[in-house]
Amino acid sequence: MKAPRLDLYAPIHKALRAWMFDTVVAVGSIDGRDEATLCATLRKVDGLLAICESHIEHEHLHLHAAMERDMPGSAREADLGHQAHGRHMRRMRGLMAEVQSAEAVARFPLLTQLYRELAMFVAENLTHMQWEETVHNEALWARHTDAELDAIHDALVQTIPPQEMAEVLRHMLPALSPLERHGMLADMRGKMPPQAFDGVLQLAHEVLGAHDWSSLLCAMDLKLALPAGPAMAC
Ligand SMILES: [Fe+2]
């Protein structure tokens, strides 16, 4: 059996799907009369849109650039999709501003509109991500070795500020399968300064359930003492 090729889209798209679903549910169940919950949920939507904008830029600068260099026009369909996503996100930001400035009693119809706009945005993104994970991956795999794809990935990751990376990992780590999670962390351990990798492990400890956390420790042969609790080992 042939070894699977390096899939640059799979981890971030799993994170985005989980993040999107979670945000749709949060907006659907919001109480527009509760200022604190409303603000927290709108911040959640704002955070999702910010990460989507950043993700589009990363794909454009790193993946689409590599595809267009080898095969002009190969990223055009997804570029058009990104432009449509940009317009959709601007509409949602406008709606969010309307919600914030509306009287509490007038918020319900606006929140319903925001919920439906967000759900449609997610629906469009699901189709878009499927296109990238099939058509784009085939194009990338046909013209690049895994080592070249890994170099593209590393160059992309270098441009992500630490706070954004932590926010992405917070959603990505629980969304991955154990095999993907262990592989990704093993790769990070080999490429990051030890102190920065310890920070990633702290985050993993925070967001993973007990079973996934202990499985991670075993898979990576780690014995770790975290400040918040007793030493754990497999
Ligand atoms: Fe995309």
Tell me, rounded to whole angstroms, the distance of Cα 141 from its chain centroid. Answer: 22
Give percent of the chain above pLDDT 90.
90
232 by DSSP, 3-state: which? Answer: strand
Q: How far is the CA of 10 from the centre of ligand 1 (A)?
A: 12
Q: DSSP secondary structure string, 151-199?
A: HHHHHHHHTS-HHHHHHHHHHHHHHS-HHHHHHHHHHHHHHS-HHHHHH
222 pLDDT higher than 70 = yes
Each residue's pLDDT tens digit, 14-72: 999 999 999 999 999 999 999 999 999 999 999 999 999 999 999 999 999 999 998 99
**Cα-flanking dihedrals φ and ψ of residue 183, to 5°?**
-65, -45
Q: How far is the CA of 51 from the centre of ligand 1 (A)?
A: 12
The strand ranges marked E within the chain are: none
Q: How far is the CA of 130 from the centre of ligand 1 (A)?
A: 9
**Cα-flanking dihedrals φ and ψ of residue 227, to 5°?**
-60, -30
Q: How far is the CA of 193 from the centre of ligand 1 (A)?
A: 30
Distant-in-sequence, close-in-space partners of 182: CB < 8 Å, separation ≥ 6: 215, 216, 219, 220
pLDDT tier at 2, thresholds 50, 70, 90 = confident
What sign does the CA torsion over 74, 78, 82, 88 have? positive
Q: How far is the CA of 78 from the centre of ligand 1 (A)?
A: 6
Tell me which residue has tokens 């991500």: 129
Judge contact between 8 and 152, C-beta under 8 A: yes
- Mean per-residue pLDDT over the chain, rounded: 94
Report if pTM > 0.95. no
Each residue's pLDDT tens digit, 66-88: 999 989 999 999 999 999 999 99
Residue of 156, 135, 152, 163 lying closest to 55 (CA atoms): 156
Q: How far is the CA of 131 from the centre of ligand 1 (A)?
A: 9
Q: How far is the CA of 185 from the centre of ligand 1 (A)?
A: 24
Q: How far is the CA of 231 from the centre of ligand 1 (A)?
A: 41
Q: How far is the CA of 53 from the centre of ligand 1 (A)?
A: 10
Q: How far is the CA of 38 from the centre of ligand 1 (A)?
A: 29
Q: How far is the CA of 192 from the centre of ligand 1 (A)?
A: 27
Q: Return the pLDDT at 221.
A: 85
Q: How far is the CA of 31 from the centre of ligand 1 (A)?
A: 32
Taking the CA atoms of residue 72, residue 65, residue 16 and residue 171 in that order, the dihedral angle to the nearest 10 degrees is 160
Q: How far is the CA of 81 from the centre of ligand 1 (A)?
A: 7
Each residue's pLDDT tens digit, 106-119: 999 999 999 999 99
233 pLDDT higher than 90 = no
Judge contact between 163 and 50, C-beta under 8 A: no
pLDDT tier at 226, thresholds 50, 70, 90 = low
Residue of 203, 121, 125, 113 lying closest to 166 (CA atoms): 203
Q: How far is the CA of 136 from the centre of ligand 1 (A)?
A: 10
**Cα-flanking dihedrals φ and ψ of residue 232, to 5°?**
-120, 145
Beta-carbon count within 10 A of 233 CB: 11
| Amino acid at the residue 8 | L
174 pLDDT higher than 60 = yes
Judge contact between 19 and 48, C-beta under 8 A: yes
